[in-house]
């Protein structure tokens, strides 16, 4: 007789996830309707639960497992609470790794990607994740990316997509352009050791800056988003109110427009500073070889510093051009300098330098002996010689500033801007740090940009000019047979069949745009497609999107706080303005989970501390693996992966299994109420209350699971009482039924198995969530801490609901309290009913 056969014969089958999980997975896989969302007419409130879609690398990692365990627990809970839940999954399937793999393995990117998707979909099914696969979205398929192209054309029509030549970030490793958002500390977001170069290229941009103000003000309303993410986006948008002021160049026709946030200090300006790239600086240099050389040197130094990754470390320096500018407020001549710390791409690339009231200007003036002129003083004690630079603008007033002398700084900022405007030499303005989104990528594995260049040109289009394709020409399909190289621009440029086409307007020869779109375009609107994934005539049906949106809960890593989460907010606003949707923001609530750490560092291949989810599933089962991911730390904090902990959860599940199977027979028992029931039912209802509360509030599933463990410990401690019928079978039935239901969001396989064993009807995660009965949950006795002067003396028991007088009397009657208080004067007694008594003595 075999080992396992004997244990079965004893009626004590052991918990075996290796048998339970594949069995249920097969049943679930066979039932397409199991996790399908219902229609708008379901009569239930809707709940859109979404986890960020993964890049199909081929392997789920623990970060994914954690992310999906959180989302899955929530989705299942919401089903059980009677919601119509949309819980979809998809693949962010374009991107460079597929091209790298193609180079390495000689596999076409499409094949490699689709194989990875199949592998990861299977892993997700093994995890028991409740996705509606009928709505699956794969961004690298033409059914999806044709709508990227469609949106691109819509944006082009509205001037939101445009082409311009500019300095762009170039990653030599990726051999492509990067958006500003993809440059981290001067390096590529995919290659932290690769410094990004600046190149002059003609590229496609999306006009995200048009929505800068709305993207910023909308953050205030996103109360369901972490403050951290909102702050990061605010900083990224970098709105700054100020004034543009034109300084005429003395002895020249040119003018220099400076941007300042402190126009009230303009009477203190003692120089104008230009970025080395500034056009006026270049013009001066044209007739001044010495200056030209100095500017050249400055640019070279900046380039070197950028390549060393430490732009901030170069010392501020500048050169006097020998020319002067006219301050339009007082007609004073101030010297024009070129300085290395002036940024060409912020504001106008030119500033007025006011050493008395700006830290950097003060430092710079000190170095070169430029004038320092105080024009702002504190309102209170304005005559005091406070230390310069004095940079405050609240409770500050102007001095030596002509007709504005005596004005407050804040008022003067408004009035002087208005004056400049009235006199035609300036205006109030708003500047942003946010730049338009460069979306051209010189890579193969991405969405082709639906534009052609008409070679001969036709009316309104010069030779080689841009012509948008008509919608009927979509999708522009990526050619399949492409030689992938990482040199010499987009691989599409070498596919002549693709390249050579005809102009849709004049039918003359034309060549296609060979750049592809940034993959962040794909992920900017994918969650709308889930609501209508099979639509072949539109990106989605507006009625469907309007029913489901906004996303009720979006869950993902904080690393997307700027990139994906700002692009997708932008896309939502564009789609709203196209009349496709009604919502202003994609997600009402956002949750950013912590990282998964091992041995003190984020899990990564390079650190060699990766723990494979497959291995964990093999050793402990999917239920134990996902439950551990929820138990080891609250979801917003970093989680240290300790395999012993997974083993611990596995032991807990085994205990649940043993006890539930042992008492499964109680389901058919007679219905007698017993006095032994009270304590066990009390613990049950306390547990239901706790777990329910955690779901609706802060998602501290670690404490939910802890409270279920306490319940199991209590059940285990009552085994004798249950065996001897001191506890009724009705109570036993209720306890196990609720226990299994509470387990369903965390350990769905085991819950399904046990639900069947105890005779439950239907799918366990569609059964109504148990409701806590406050009456049953109430303790009969309360433990009251008794303190003397705030120090614990003893704990006394009083009947539940005892009033203040009773509680106080019980505390004062305690022998230890009497001994402590004896011989001292009781100053006062503080009673917190149900909690504590504090006797203050002298």
Residues 679-698 that bind RNA (CB under 7 A): 690, 693-694, 697-698
Residue carrying the six token digits 């387990």: 743
Rounded Cα–Cα distance for residues 563 and 575 (Å): 18
Select 172 or 226, whichever has its Cβ closest to RNA: 226
Select 7 or 502, whichever has its Cβ closest to RNA: 7
Exactly one of 787, 798, 802, 817 binds RNA (CB under 7 A); which one? 787
Rounded Cα–Cα distance for residues 345 and 349 (Å): 6
Local structure of residue 760 (DSSP, 8 states): -
Report, in Å, the least distance between residue 254 CB and RNA. 18
* Residues between 262 and 291 that touch RNA (CB under 7 A): 262, 275
> Angle at Cα 259 formed by Cα 319 and Cα 561, nearest 5°?
110
> Does position 702 bind RNA by CB under 7 A?
yes
Select 166 or 693, whichever has its Cβ closest to RNA: 693
Local structure of residue 814 (DSSP, 8 states): S
Q: Is 441 helix (H, G, I), strand (E, B) or coil?
A: strand
Q: Is 167 helix (H, G, I), strand (E, B) or coil?
A: strand
> Does position 417 bind RNA by CB under 7 A?
no
Residue (of 220, 190, 181, 264) closest to 524 by Cα position? 181
Report, in Å, the least distance between residue 76 CB and RNA. 20
> Does position 833 bind RNA by CB under 7 A?
no
Select 41 or 220, whichever has its Cβ closest to RNA: 220
Please tell me the number of Cα atoms within 13 Å of 346 on its side-chain side.
15
Report, in Å, the least distance between residue 628 CB and RNA. 8
Select 199 or 367, whichever has its Cβ closest to RNA: 367
| Segment (H or E) for 246 | strand 240-249
> Does position 629 bind RNA by CB under 7 A?
no
Exactly one of 713, 780, 818, 824 binds RNA (CB under 7 A); which one? 713
> Does position 808 bind RNA by CB under 7 A?
no
Residues constituting the chain? 842
Residue carrying the six token digits 């830290």: 359
Report, in Å, the least distance between residue 192 CB and RNA. 10
Report, in Å, the least distance between residue 154 CB and RNA. 30
> Does position 18 bind RNA by CB under 7 A?
no
Rounded Cα–Cα distance for residues 199 and 170 (Å): 6
Would you say 732 and 724 are in contact if contact means Cβ atoms under 8 Å apart? no
What is the size of the binding site for RNA (CB under 7 A)? 82
Select 46 or 637, whichever has its Cβ closest to RNA: 637
Rounded Cα–Cα distance for residues 829 and 810 (Å): 13
Rounded Cα–Cα distance for residues 729 and 732 (Å): 5
Report, in Å, the least distance between residue 681 CB and RNA. 19
Report, in Å, the least distance between residue 260 CB and RNA. 4
Rounded Cα–Cα distance for residues 131 and 29 (Å): 11
Please confirm whether the linkage preceding 363 is cis (ω < 30° from 0): no
* Residues between 87 and 116 that touch RNA (CB under 7 A): none
Alpha helices in 382-428 (DSSP H): 409-422
Report, in Å, the least distance between residue 552 CB and RNA. 20
Select 712 or 732, whichever has its Cβ closest to RNA: 712
* Residues between 764 and 783 that touch RNA (CB under 7 A): 783
Alpha helices in 37-192 (DSSP H): 62-80, 96-105, 109-127, 142-157
Select 121 or 637, whichever has its Cβ closest to RNA: 637
Rounded Cα–Cα distance for residues 47 and 85 (Å): 5
Would you say 477 and 507 are in contact if contact means Cβ atoms under 8 Å apart? no
Select 101 or 630, whichever has its Cβ closest to RNA: 630
Window of 308-316, 388-396, 497-505, 537-545 that interacts with RNA by CB under 7 A: 308-316
Please say whether the dihedral angle defined by the alpha carbons of residues 209, 210, 216 and 219, taken in this order, is positive or negative. negative
> Does position 303 bind RNA by CB under 7 A?
no
Exactly one of 44, 46, 210, 360 binds RNA (CB under 7 A); which one? 360
Would you say 829 and 840 are in contact if contact means Cβ atoms under 8 Å apart? yes
Exactly one of 45, 789, 799, 803 binds RNA (CB under 7 A); which one? 789
Report, in Å, the least distance between residue 525 CB and RNA. 23
* Residues between 553 and 572 that touch RNA (CB under 7 A): 558, 562
Exactly one of 81, 255, 637, 662 binds RNA (CB under 7 A); which one? 637
Q: Is 562 helix (H, G, I), strand (E, B) or coil?
A: coil
* Residues between 640 and 659 that touch RNA (CB under 7 A): 640, 642, 644-645, 647-649, 651-652, 654-655
Rounded Cα–Cα distance for residues 433 and 190 (Å): 23
Exactly one of 638, 781, 803, 804 binds RNA (CB under 7 A); which one? 638
Report, in Å, the least distance between residue 352 CB and RNA. 7
**In sequence order, which residues have a C-beta less than 8 Å from that of residue 659 and are 6 or more positions away?**
712, 715, 716, 719, 736
Rounded Cα–Cα distance for residues 247 and 649 (Å): 72
* Residues between 432 and 461 that touch RNA (CB under 7 A): 433
Select 275 or 743, whichever has its Cβ closest to RNA: 275
Select 31 or 227, whichever has its Cβ closest to RNA: 227
Select 275 or 588, whichever has its Cβ closest to RNA: 275
Report, in Å, the least distance between residue 826 CB and RNA. 12
Exactly one of 351, 396, 397, 715 binds RNA (CB under 7 A); which one? 351
> Angle at Cα 400 formed by Cα 398 and Cα 401, nearest 5°?
65
Rounded Cα–Cα distance for residues 344 and 347 (Å): 8
Report, in Å, the least distance between residue 648 CB and RNA. 3
> Does position 184 bind RNA by CB under 7 A?
yes
Report, in Å, the least distance between residue 200 CB and RNA. 19
* Residues between 205 and 264 that touch RNA (CB under 7 A): 227-228, 231-232, 235-236, 238, 240, 242, 259-262
| Burial group, residue 536, by CB count within 10 angstroms (0-12, 13-18, 19+) | exposed
* Residues between 466 and 505 that touch RNA (CB under 7 A): none
* Residues between 748 and 767 that touch RNA (CB under 7 A): none
> Does position 374 bind RNA by CB under 7 A?
no
Window of 60-68, 285-293, 541-549, 633-641 that interacts with RNA by CB under 7 A: 633-641
> Does position 314 bind RNA by CB under 7 A?
yes
Select 137 or 646, whichever has its Cβ closest to RNA: 646
Residue (of 491, 564, 545) closest to 232 by Cα position? 564
Select 107 or 257, whichever has its Cβ closest to RNA: 257
Window of 26-34, 163-171, 492-500, 625-633 that interacts with RNA by CB under 7 A: 625-633
* Residues between 330 and 349 that touch RNA (CB under 7 A): 340-343, 346-347, 349
Rounded Cα–Cα distance for residues 808 and 829 (Å): 8
Window of 201-209, 574-582, 733-741, 829-837 that interacts with RNA by CB under 7 A: 829-837
Rounded Cα–Cα distance for residues 581 and 316 (Å): 50
To the nearest 10 degrees (0 to 180), the angle between helices 729-743 and 701-717 is 160
| Burial group, residue 540, by CB count within 10 angstroms (0-12, 13-18, 19+) | buried
What are the phi and psi torsion angles at 460 (to 5°)? 85, -10
Please say whether the dihedral angle defined by the alpha carbons of residues 474, 479, 484 and 490, taken in this order, is positive or negative. negative
Exactly one of 108, 172, 634, 669 binds RNA (CB under 7 A); which one? 634
Please say whether the dihedral angle defined by the alpha carbons of residues 588, 594, 596 and 601, taken in this order, is positive or negative. positive
Report, in Å, the least distance between residue 261 CB and RNA. 4
């Amino acid at each position: 007789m075999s080992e396992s056969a004997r244990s079965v014969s004893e009626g004590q089958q052991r918990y075996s996830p290796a048998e339970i999980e594949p069995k249920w997975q097969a049943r679930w896989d066979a039932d397409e309707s199991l996790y399908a969302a219902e229609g708008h007419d379901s009569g239930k409130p809707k709940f859109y639960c979404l986890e960020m879609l993964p890049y199909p690398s081929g392997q789920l990692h623990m970060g994914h497992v954690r992310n999906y365990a959180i989302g899955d627990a929530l989705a299942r809970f919401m089903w059980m609470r009677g919601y119509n839940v949309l819980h979809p999954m998809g693949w962010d399937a374009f991107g460079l790794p597929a091209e790298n793999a193609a180079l390495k393995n000689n596999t076409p990117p499409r094949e490699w990607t689709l194989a990875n998707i199949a592998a990861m979909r299977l892993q997700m099914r093994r995890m028991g994740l409740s996705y509606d696969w009928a709505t699956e979205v794969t961004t690298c398929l033409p059914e999806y990316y044709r709508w990227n192209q469609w949106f691109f054309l819509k944006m082009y029509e509205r001037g939101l997509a445009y082409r311009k030549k500019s300095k762009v970030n170039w990653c030599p490793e990726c051999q492509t352009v990067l958006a500003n958002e993809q440059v981290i500390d001067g390096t590529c977001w995919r290659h932290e050791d690769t410094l990004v170069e600046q190149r002059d290229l003609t590229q496609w941009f999306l006009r995200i800056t048009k929505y800068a103000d709305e993207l910023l003000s909308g953050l205030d309303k996103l109360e369901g988003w972490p403050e951290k993410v909102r702050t990061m986006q605010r900083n990224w948008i970098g709105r700054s109110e100020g004034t543009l002021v034109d300084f005429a160049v003395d002895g020249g026709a040119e003018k220099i427009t400076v941007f300042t946030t402190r126009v009230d200090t303009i009477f203190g300006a003692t120089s104008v500073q230009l970025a080395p790239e500034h056009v006026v600086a270049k013009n001066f240099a044209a007739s001044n070889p010495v200056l030209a050389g100095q500017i050249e040197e400055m640019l070279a130094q900046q380039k070197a510093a950028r390549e060393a990754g430490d732009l901030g470390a170069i010392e501020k320096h500048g050169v006097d051009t020998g020319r002067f500018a006219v301050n339009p407020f007082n007609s004073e001549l101030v010297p024009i300098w070129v300085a290395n710390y002036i940024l060409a791409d912020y504001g106008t690339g030119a500033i007025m330098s006011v050493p008395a009231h700006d830290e950097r200007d003060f430092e710079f003036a000190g170095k070169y002996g430029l004038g320092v002129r105080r024009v702002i003083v504190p309102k209170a004690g304005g005559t005091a010689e406070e230390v310069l630079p004095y940079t405050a603008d609240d409770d500050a007033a102007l001095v030596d500033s002509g007709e504005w002398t005596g004005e407050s700084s804040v008022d003067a900022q408004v009035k002087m801007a208005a004056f400049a405007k009235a006199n035609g030499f300036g205006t109030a303005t708003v500047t942003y740090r946010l730049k338009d989104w460069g979306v051209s990528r010189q890579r193969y594995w991405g969405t082709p940009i639906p534009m052609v260049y008409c070679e001969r040109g036709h009316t309104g289009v010069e030779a080689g000019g841009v012509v948008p394709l008509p919608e009927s020409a979509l999708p522009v399909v990526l050619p399949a047979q492409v030689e992938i190289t990482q040199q010499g621009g987009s691989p599409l440029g070498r596919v002549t069949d693709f390249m050579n086409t005809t102009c849709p307007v004049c039918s003359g020869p034309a060549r296609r745009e060979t750049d592809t779109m940034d993959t962040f375009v794909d992920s900017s609107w994918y969650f709308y497609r889930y609501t209508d994934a099979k639509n072949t005539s539109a990106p989605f049906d507006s009625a469907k999107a309007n029913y489901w949106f906004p996303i009720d809960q979006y869950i993902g890593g904080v690393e997307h706080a700027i990139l994906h989460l700002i692009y997708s907010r932008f896309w939502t606003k564009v789609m709203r303005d196209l009349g496709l949707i009604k919502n202003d923001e994609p997600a009402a609530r956002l949750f950013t989970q912590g990282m998964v750490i091992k041995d003190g560092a984020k899990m990564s291949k390079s650190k060699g501390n990766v723990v494979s989810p497959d291995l964990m599933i093999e050793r402990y089962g999917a239920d134990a693996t996902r439950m551990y991911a929820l138990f080891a730390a609250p979801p917003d904090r970093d989680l240290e992966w300790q395999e012993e902990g997974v083993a611990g959860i596995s032991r807990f599940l085994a205990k649940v299994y043993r006890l539930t199977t042992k008492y499964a027979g109680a389901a058919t028992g007679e219905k007698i109420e017993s006095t032994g029931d009270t304590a066990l039912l009390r613990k049950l209802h306390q547990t239901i209350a706790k777990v329910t509360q955690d779901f609706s509030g802060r998602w501290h599933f670690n404490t939910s699971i802890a409270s279920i463990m306490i319940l199991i410990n209590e059940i285990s401690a009552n085994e004798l009482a249950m065996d001897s019928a001191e506890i009724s079978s009705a109570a036993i039935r209720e306890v196990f039924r609720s226990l299994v239901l509470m387990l369903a969001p965390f350990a769905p396989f085991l819950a399904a198995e046990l639900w069947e064993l105890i005779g439950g009807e239907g799918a366990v995660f569609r059964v109504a969530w148990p409701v806590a009965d406050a009456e049953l949950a109430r303790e009969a006795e309360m433990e009251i801490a008794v303190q003397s002067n705030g120090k614990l003396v003893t704990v006394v028991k009083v009947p539940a609901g005892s009033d203040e007088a009773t509680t106080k009397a019980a505390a004062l009657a305690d022998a230890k309290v009497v001994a402590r208080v004896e011989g001292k004067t009781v100053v006062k007694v503080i009673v917190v009913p149900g909690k504590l008594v504090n006797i203050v003595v002298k």
